[in-house]
Amino acid sequence: MTPTSGERIGGWLIAPLAWLLVALLSASLALLLYSTALITPQALKNLTAQNTLNIALWFISFACAIAMWYYTLWLTIAFFKRRKSVPKHYIIWLLISVLLALKAFAFSPVSDGLAVRQLLFPLLAAALFAPYFRRAERVKKTFVNP
């Protein structure tokens, strides 16, 4: 399978790629924190001291973090390979990021200022990049490989 020649990744596509790479780094750090909780004896003791519902929610959150990390990694690789499916999946990835930020805003015990800041960046990225990936000619000419 030979890649189809198309435009190289450049111009305004550098910004969504940078956002994707930063999100991959952030998701990797989150997985490291979850793994630390499973490895460290004190953190594991505190986790097992919780009730069954909290333990189940923690593992669901851990599974979601793994799934988001994997999807972000896959999307990053597909972005560099300039796959045709990237624009659609990038928009889906942005919407999932907004949903996760809304979940954190609604259910996390953090201050409202911090929660709004965490919600602001995914909303801004989705508002800017989703229309760009839907309509830009550069995107249509860049992501051409099957």
Residue-wise pLDDT tens digits, 76-119:
999 999 999 999 999 999 999 999 888 888 877 777 788 788 88
First to last CA, the chain: 9
What gap in Å lies between CA 129 and CA 15, rounded to an integer?
9
What gap in Å lies between CA 144 and CA 146, rounded to an integer?
7
Query: Which residues are bridge partners to 145 per DSSP?
Result: 83
| Residue among 22, 6, 4, 30 at smallest CA distance from 93 | 22
φ and ψ at residue 132, rounded to 5 degrees: -65, -45
pTM of the full structure: 0.86
DSSP 12: G
Contact 14, 142 (CB under 8 A): no
**pLDDT of 4:** 61
Give yes or no for residue 8 having a pLDDT over 60. Answer: yes
Contact 79, 86 (CB under 8 A): yes
- Write out pLDDT tens, residues 44-76: 888 888 888 888 888 888 999 999 999 999 999
